A and B are shown apart, each in its own frame.
Chain A
Amino acid sequence: MPQHTDDIVIIQQVLRGQQNAYAILVERYQSYVFTLVLRYVNDRGLAEEISQDVFVKAYRSLKDFKGTSKFSTWLYAIVHTTCISQLRKKKDAAILLEQDKLTSVAANEHSHERAEQKLEQKSRKALLSAAIATLPEEDAQIITLIYLAEQTIEEVSSIMNITPNNVKVKLFRARQKLRTVLETKFTNEII
């Protein structure tokens, strides 16, 4: 992950009017933001739209970033609030997505052999990604924040607005579920 001080220097440049410097921050965090948004919406087109909104909102509120936390922590907090508000707006779409997700999990369970044949062709990374996609939304977010965005327990706590102890418990449960999914569905491929 990028250095905290480096981000602050770029932010100061943007605030001084060097709008192009913002492109560096977008390039730096776009994949992390996009991945995290995908944990909420599970639709690439919509996720890209929301991710762009996140960066636009961050740009508008850049003056409010005091530098007391990492820029990534601040940015992921915007991801969290934006996704929640988008999902409220597009409640029907989210329900459909959830149904799709459940249908695909059910299909996996019923046609396990066929799923295994397909999954054999995928890499370990894709398998892990598929396993995370089967987790409940919140579990997938916590795992992504801790492992991909390399956020600490305290940072996740401030992003999700829950206590650090609560994060620990949720992380434990999320990893337990992931382990179960990997063991039951992808044993041969991953571990």
Chain B
Amino acid sequence: MDTEQMIWEYIDGSCDEPTKVQVQQKLNTDVQWQNMYSELLSLHKSIRTDMEAEQPSLRFTKNVLEKIAAEAIVNQSKSYFNPIIIRSVSFILITSILFLLGYGISRTNWNETVDAKYYSGSTLHAFLWINIVLGLVLIDRILNRNKKRPIKHLDQ
């Protein structure tokens, strides 16, 4: 370790005890060490007192708060809907539909003749096409919803 480095560590108070004693002895006896010490100490004090923090714009805090406000709303709405409640409601709905479907099927007389007035071939076709269109609309909405989900970008 050279003289300058030893003195800097002495000023910082980061040197070990033997080095500290060694530097103190040199400072008491050696003029060159004394000169360098006073020079480095002066620089050290100058940096400490003269270093100034740069100031961002006056809107800085406001901008940050605006950015995090949007985040907080997302978090709150996420926590607002309890997933257990959502699952329970879904379970009740699906069970009810299955129950009604089962009940309807069990009560159906499969041997009964179809009234041609209401269940003609064209009526069944129209009903089928309406269901296909509704199905496509539903699939489109599900796919769009997935696309619009925000992307997390915390890249630490």
Contact = CB atoms under 8 A, between A and B. Distances in A.
Contacts of B4: 172, 176
B55 interface: yes
Interface residues of B, number: 33
A176 B8 CA distance: 10
Given A129-B51, A172-B8, 17 more contacts: A19-B69, A26-B60, A26-B65, A31-B55, A34-B55, A51-B60, A52-B63, A52-B64, A57-B156, A61-B154, A147-B47, A147-B48, A148-B51, A171-B8, A178-B43, A190-B46, A191-B43
B153 to A, nearest CB: 10
Interface of B: 4-5, 8-9, 12, 14, 40, 42-43, 46-48, 50-57, 60-61, 63-65, 67-69, 71-72, 154-156
Give the size category of A's interface with B.
Answer: 35 or more
Given A34-B55, A129-B52, A191-B42, A56 B64 contact: yes
A133 B72 CA distance: 37
Contacts of B50: 124-125, 127-128, 190
Interface in A27-42: 27, 30-32, 34-35, 38
8 contacts: A19-B65, A26-B64, A48-B57, A56-B68, A128-B46, A144-B51, A147-B51, A153-B14
